[in-house]
Structure 1
Amino acid sequence: MRLVAPQFQPRTVSAFAIAVFLALTAFANPAGATSPSQTPPRASVMTVATQDRVDTRISGLHTRLQITAAQEELWQKVARVMRDNAGTMDSLRQARASNVNSMSAVDDLKSYGQIADAHADGIRKLTPAFQALYDSMSDVQKKNADLIFQTDHRHSAKKG
């Protein structure tokens, strides 16, 4: 029996979910989850490289979304969740990397499941923070945000 990764249809996935996926996958590495017998390290422990990537992503989105001074508090909540999510994914990657040579095939699948669960949890955490920000946006900002997320998705799909 051959396992096939599910294919996502762009029309069935919201632009927001796509953007979150892009943000999280910038920090996730399927070869980097914890083994099933381990508890992932705290999300606040993040490599410098990951911290740099997430800060660059946050700064870039801030500029591209044209966040106003009035929206800054809402944006900071989004940025905090993005950093927490990136930290979680980085911790999973680091823990898995340290155990990759001793994991069985079953351990490998379980650890990949932990990554998928962390990714889904990250989206669930980011959604309300981003929704509050999105709701505060002008119609022009919303159209811009939708376009940014659609464009980032198409760019990501071409890489994969």
Structure 2
Amino acid sequence: MKFNTPLFAQGRLPAGAAGFFLAITAFASPAGAAAPAQNPAPAHVMTVAAHDSIDARINSLHNRLQINGAQEALWQKVAQVMRDNTDTMRALRETRMSQMSSMNAVDDLKSYGQAADAHAEGIRKLTPVFQTLYDSMSDEQKKNADLIFRTDHHHPAKKG
């Protein structure tokens, strides 16, 4: 492992930190999302792509959870928290990337701490709105949701 090049910038994180970026947007991540491009796209292009990506994940989860019409308003609250959490993590990452060349080891650790705090706060925000949706689900939907949560990428510690 190189200590002079931040792992975050290389698209690799320590095992515990990797979950921050998988979990905050909740449930699934596209295959190419882990490693940033060598020549990053302009911020507006990245923002559009990130919104497309989170919207694709939200739509996929909506379908997989079999959200019905009566649950749609509750689902929209879940989706909005997912979008907000993604925006928060994106802003942290952009700040980190812009300051990377001047960060020392302590700054690097503080930056990871900010990501950890943002991740925890995002989960705290997501949990109650998802709980309300979950409570409205049929037993079959709940079993399906339980399976999705048990097996999807937001539990990196179970993978390995």
Same structural fold, with TM-score higher than 0.5 when normalized by the shorter chain? yes
User: In 1, are the aligned partners of 2:134 and 2:142 still within 8 Å (CA)?
Assistant: yes
Give distance in 2, aligned partners of 1:68 and 1:86: 25
Cα displacement string for residues 52-71 of structure 1 (whole angstroms, at most 9, x for unaligned residues): 11101100000000000000
Distance 1:154 1:52, change over 3 A: closer
Percent of aligned pairs with the same residue? 66
Corresponding residue of 1:42: none
**Counterpart position of 1:103:** 103
* Residue 155 (structure 1) shift: 8.8
Distance 1:96 1:131, change over 3 A: same
2:61 counterpart letter in structure 1:
L
Q: Which 4+ runs in 1 deviate beyond 3 A?
A: 19-22, 24-29, 153-160
Gaps of 5+ in 2: 1-13, 17-21, 37-45
Output the CA distance in 1 between the equivalents of 2:48 and 2:85: 15
**Which sections of structure 1, spanning at least 5 residues, go unmatched?**
8-18, 32-45
SS at match of 1:67: coil
Query: Aligned equivalents of 1:107 and 1:78: distance in 2?
Result: 33
Find the counterpart in structure 2 of residue 135 from structure 1: 135
Q: Which amino acid aligns with 1:150?
A: R
Q: Do the aligned partners of residues 78 and 95 (structure 1) sit closer, same or farther apart at CA in structure 2, a change above 3 Å counting?
A: same
CA contact (8 A) 2:27 2:153 kept: no
Provide the aligned C-alpha RMSD in A. Answer: 3.1
User: 2:92 is matched with which residue?
Assistant: 92
What is the rounded CA distance, in whole Å, between the counterparts of 2:133 and 2:68 in structure 1?
11
- Matching of residue 144 in structure 1 with residue 144 in structure 2: yes
Q: Give the alignment's TM-score, normalised by structure 2.
A: 0.71
Aligned positions, number: 130
Matches of 1:88 and 1:154, distance apart in 2: 17
Residues 104-160 of structure 1: CA deviation (Å, up to 9, x unaligned): 100000011000000000000000000000000000000000011112149956877
